[in-house]
Amino acid sequence: MLLRERRHAACFLSDAAYQAQLLLRQHTFAWPSNTSGPMTDAKRPKQSSGQLTPTEIPKQVSKKISAQRRDQSSREQANLDQSRLELVEALRGKGIHDRRILDAIGRVRRDAFVPDELKEAAYHDIPLPIGQGQTISQPLVVAWMADAMELQPTDHVLDVGTGSGYAAAVMSLLCATVHSVERIPELAQRAKARLIAEGYENVSVRCGDGHQGWPEHAPFDGICIAAAGREIPAALRDQLVIGGRIIAPLGNDRSSQTLYRLTRTDEHQFKREKLGKVRFVPLIGAAGWDEGH
């Protein structure tokens, strides 16, 4: 990373020098040839229209470089926006047909939720590392889980395992509020900052134990668990409304799990449905695995 920054710095200085040389060649200065001694303001001739003083040249160079950077940034963002539209079409081709979900995927800038060095891969339908041994989920899986929750505009959702904040951003466009819990402080802080910067005002993030949910805001119409465990923690089941849905990857194998939908049918009963094979990072704790194992 340090080497990359040094290369960029070297390019920038070369650019500035080149621009300065061009400007010096393009603009002449009306200095008299018969002046002896220091030139006073009275002796200094007025410059003709279009001429630049030496002190103005760095400003002109800076303006040109800034404009070039803005143009490059605009082109890069346009390319990312096009990639986002292509991702939506790819998900449609993979079986996601709910227009609200496709619209949400199309509106959320996934490139804002990945490390800078991975921005070009942001709209590939793959999980990507985000640090701390965690990943941002594959867009298809995010869409799949949102679809399985059957979210309504008035719903209140609990998101267990904030990660980058991307899934919370997508769900926030489909429901009334999202309360998201992340156990790793660095990820929680980063996700919160990103969500605020991107304008997702109906998402709340806190650092804490996902097993405990967020009882102060319970009950929830939907609970999305983005980490794989052996079972669903009792505290999370208790925070679901009757008729509400929990989407969670479950299994005894850390390398492969099954995605389930649990619908609460009454105070003590849940209907369980298998949705398909997935692979998630592990849920740490009593309902999952010990950290580091």
Catalytic status, residue 137: yes
Q: What is the dihedral of CA 155, 273, 143, 229, to 10 degrees?
A: 90
CB 204, CB 220: distance < 8 Å: no
Alpha-carbon distance values, 18 to 11, 22, 71, 251 (Å): 11, 6, 19, 61
Q: Scan for tokens 């109906």, then name that residue.
A: 202
Side-chain-side CA neighbours of 32 within 13 Å: the count stands at: 13
Structure tokens that stand for 11 in this block: 């390019």
Catalytic residue among 137, 164, 172, 180: 137
User: Catalytic amino acids?
Assistant: 137
